[in-house]
């Protein structure tokens, strides 16, 4: 496995250990505290809307683990929060045995009345942290990200588990010594199990029609309250790819309500408006972010493979430009050959007409020589026309490549109905609207 994992001997989903009653004070976790009689907290790694994550030391195995605590007061129903933590532990533990691209969970319990779960420690950063530190990433890196995240989603979907909260904050990235990325999907806390083969304790069903997930990454049908479906996770993965490439979300709004309306009713801006991309990438996003689920990719693997094909496709403009240039060269070659034949024919005719004059005497020979000289001068004026044709070919090639056209050669026609027009300068793309801060974050989990 690419990232070292701290694996414990306790199977999640058996019996959730609880601290002694006298220790249940509801106090926030702090460094140095012993959790579950074996995990010594060392440093807080991060916090979200629903909880916080600490790095801890397994005192029996001398390995690092990550301990996630539910945030006190974050859930209106503490019992439901405990059920969700247990469910996340069971799902992540079993999925983590099937793919290395899901962060595995190994233990669960309660500490001072606060639910926690113990995960493998991934020595990297979340994709969100990487984007905040380095900005957008190149499309080759995004292909690498999609390939690994797609494996995680297809494994989960194949077992009847829908993640429902795919976003950069829930994707861990380890930068390996060889420069490659190892990606692992985390946080199945709001996942949904439908006809799953996994042995899990399902939490109580949320209120019908309630929004679950992070608004900026929700699909139109997820916003509309449709039943969970793998197509929703694939939509969210497309949003992640868009954000990784451009540094912005494909949909924006003045507030949360306007954002949800934009996702359901407005088109997204082509990513090539903001960054230089191969031409087929825009078409890929048209399918990945299609409003209708049946118009999207049929699996996460298909989505990832199609993106790889899109970034490796040869630019169509270059291919068509080359074809135009070679077509122009072929026309010029034919024209040049015809002019050469005409010159040879004229030269022979001149010599045949001069033969009778030579037989008539010296005066007639001199007259024939003068006539031949005039014809040869006329014949050698042909290269001027050929030069004009060559200039037209050069102009056509420059126009196809987007370069300035060459000036016309003196003596050649300066314009003709079939001559290519010079390329016009591209118009500047409109500036993307800046996000207004009205007290909401589209990446927060609801």
| Whether 293 contacts 151, CB under 8 Å | no
Q: How many CB atoms lie within 10 A of CB 9?
A: 10
Distance CA 378, CA 233 (A): 76
pLDDT band at 203 (very low <50, low <70, confident <90, very high): low
Number of C-beta neighbours around residue 261 at 10 A: 14
* pLDDT value for 20: 42
Model confidence at 309: pLDDT above 60: yes
338 against 114, higher pLDDT: 114
Distance CA 144, CA 146 (A): 6
Distance separating alpha carbons of residues 82 and 255, to the nearest angstrom = 32
Pick the CATH number of 31-120 from 3.30.200.20, 3.40.630.40, 3.40.50.720, 3.40.50.360: 3.30.200.20
- Does the pLDDT of residue 105 top 70, yes or no? yes
Q: What's residue 79's pLDDT? A: 75
Please report the pLDDT score of residue 39 as a whole number.
97
Mean pLDDT score, 130-139: 95
Q: How many CB atoms lie within 10 A of CB 395?
A: 21
- Asked if residue 102 lies in contact with residue 156, where contact means CB atoms within 8 angstroms, the answer is yes
pLDDT given at position 444: 67
Contacts of 340 (CB under 8 A, 6+ apart): none
Q: Which residues are catalytic?
A: 165
Residue 359: per-residue pLDDT: 42
Domain coordinates in residue numbering, the chain: 31-120, 125-195+211-312, 316-401
Average pLDDT of the chain, as a whole number:
74
- Cβ-contact 399, 327 below 8 angstroms: no
CATH code for 125-195+211-312? 1.10.510.10
Burial class (CB in 10 A: 0-12, 13-18, 19+), 320: exposed
Asked if residues 190 and 213 have their Cβ atoms less than 8 Å apart, the reply is: yes
pLDDT value of residue 48: 74
């Amino acid at each position: 496995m690419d990232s070292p994992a701290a694996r414990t001997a306790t199977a999640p989903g058996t019996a959730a250990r609880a601290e002694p009653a006298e220790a249940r004070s509801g106090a926030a976790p702090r460094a140095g505290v012993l959790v579950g009689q074996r995990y010594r907290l060392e440093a807080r790694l991060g916090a979200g809307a629903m909880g916080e994550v600490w790095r801890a030391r397994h005192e029996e195995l001398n390995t690092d683990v990550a301990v996630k605590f539910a945030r006190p007061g974050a859930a209106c129903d503490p019992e439901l929060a405990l059920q969700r933590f247990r469910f996340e532990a069971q799902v992540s533990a079993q999925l983590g045995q099937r793919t290395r691209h899901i962060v595995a969970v190994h233990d669960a319990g309660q500490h001072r009345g606060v639910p926690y779960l113990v995960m493998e420690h991934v020595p990297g950063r979340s994709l969100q942290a990487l984007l905040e530190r380095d900005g957008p990433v190149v499309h080759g890196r995004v292909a690498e990200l999609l390939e690994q995240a797609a494996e995680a989603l297809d494994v989960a979907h194949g077992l009847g588990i829908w993640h429902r909260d795919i976003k950069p904050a829930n994707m861990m990235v380890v930068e390996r010594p060889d420069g490659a990325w190892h990606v692992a999907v985390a946080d199945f806390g709001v996942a949904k199990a439908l006809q799953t083969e996994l042995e899990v304790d399902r939490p109580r069903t949320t209120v019908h029609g309630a929004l679950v997930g992070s608004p900026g990454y929700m699909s139109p049908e997820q916003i509309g309250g449709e039943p969970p479906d793998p197509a929703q996770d694939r939509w969210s993965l497309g949003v992640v790819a868009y954000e990784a490439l451009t540094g912005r979300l494909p949909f924006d709004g003045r507030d949360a309500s306007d954002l949800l309306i934009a996702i359901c009713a407005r088109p997204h801006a082509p990513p090539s408006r903001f960054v230089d991309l191969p031409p087929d990438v825009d078409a890929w996003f048209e399918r990945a972010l299609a409003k209708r689920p049946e118009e999207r990719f049929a699996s996460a693997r298909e989505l990832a493979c199609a993106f790889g094909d899109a970034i490796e496709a040869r630019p169509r403009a270059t291919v068509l430009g080359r074809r135009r240039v070679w077509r122009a060269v072929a026309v010029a070659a034919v024209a040049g050959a015809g002019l050469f034949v005409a010159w040879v024919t004229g030269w022979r005719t001149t010599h045949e007409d001069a033969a009778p004059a030579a037989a008539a005497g010296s005066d007639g020979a001199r007259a024939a020589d003068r006539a031949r000289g005039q014809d040869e001068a006329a014949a050698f004026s042909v290269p001027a026309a050929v030069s004009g044709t060559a200039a037209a070919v050069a102009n056509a090639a420059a126009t196809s490549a987007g370069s300035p056209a060459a000036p016309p050669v003196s003596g050649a026609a300066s314009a003709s109905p079939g001559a290519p027009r010079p390329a016009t300068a591209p118009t500047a793309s409109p500036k993307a609207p800046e996000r207004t801060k009205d007290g909401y974050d589209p990446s927060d989990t609801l």
